[in-house]
């Protein structure tokens, strides 16, 4: 009988497996010559704010994995619901502390900000203070308007907001990471 994992257990398993997967990928990856394979990437996407974009998150994370280790790969898991990893207060504290630690460890942050999320907004506020290179992706076709607190933080260099359509996402990520390679 197969055991069903809780959100935190699944996140821990993903985190442990990530190192092995990264080693396997780097040995077979062509990488398009990016030279960024050791990079630690923090991906932000809505969890408790809504999971409507989870399949898009999966595409983004798969592309990000060609540039390095995605510390928050679990955000793209279809097994993660809008209830999050664990609804208990103790679980919330562990999630917060773990994610802030991952933010601190990360070299770069990529956030899909179309689905409004208090957690993603909080993460982005923290990364601005940490002076992390950040790319925010927003789809105007959603009919939503991006918060002025996100769009207004765009400085064109350290914190960048890009409007995009789904068919452009891989190319936008490639442009962003190619820019990192040059700096």
The answer to whether the beta carbons of residues 86 and 7 sit under 8 Å apart is yes
- Residue 149 marked in a binding site: yes
Length of the chain: 183
- Residue 136 marked in a binding site: no
Query: How far is the C-alpha of 139 from the C-alpha of 167, rounded, in Å?
Result: 11
Dihedral of the alpha carbons of 99, 131, 182, 178, in degrees to the nearest 10? 40
- Residue 44 marked in a binding site: yes
- Residue 101 marked in a binding site: no
Query: How far is the C-alpha of 90 from the C-alpha of 108, rounded, in Å?
Result: 28
Helix (H, G, I), strand (E, B) or coil at 110: strand
Dihedral of the alpha carbons of 60, 64, 69, 71, in degrees to the nearest 10? -30
- Residue 48 marked in a binding site: yes
- Residue 46 marked in a binding site: yes
- Residue 45 marked in a binding site: yes
- Residue 122 marked in a binding site: no
CA nearest neighbour of 181 among 31, 24, 72: 31
Which residues are annotated as part of the binding site? Answer: 42-48, 57, 123, 147-149
Which residues are annotated as part of the binding site for substrate? Answer: 42-48, 57, 123, 147-149
């Amino acid at each position: 009988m197969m055991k069903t994992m809780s959100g935190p257990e699944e996140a821990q398993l993903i985190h442990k497996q990530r190192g092995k997967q990264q080693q396997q990928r780097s040995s077979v990856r062509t990488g398009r010559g990016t030279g960024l394979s050791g990079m630690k990437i923090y991906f932000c996407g809505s969890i408790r704010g809504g999971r409507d974009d989870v399949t898009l998150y999966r595409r983004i994370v798969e592309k990000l994995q060609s540039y390095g280790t995605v510390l928050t790969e679990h955000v793209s898991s279809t097994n993660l619901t809008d209830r999050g990893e664990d609804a208990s207060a103790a679980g919330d504290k562990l999630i917060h502390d773990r994610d802030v630690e991952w933010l601190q460890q990360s070299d770069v942050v990529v956030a899909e900000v179309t689905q409004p999320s208090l957690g993603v907004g909080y993460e982005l506020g923290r990364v601005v203070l940490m002076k992390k290179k950040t790319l925010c992706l927003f789809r105007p076709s959603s009919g939503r308007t991006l918060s002025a607190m996100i769009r207004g933080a765009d400085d064109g260099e350290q914190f960048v907001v890009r409007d995009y359509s789904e068919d452009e996402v891989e190319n936008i990520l490639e442009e962003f990471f190619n820019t990192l390679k040059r700096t």
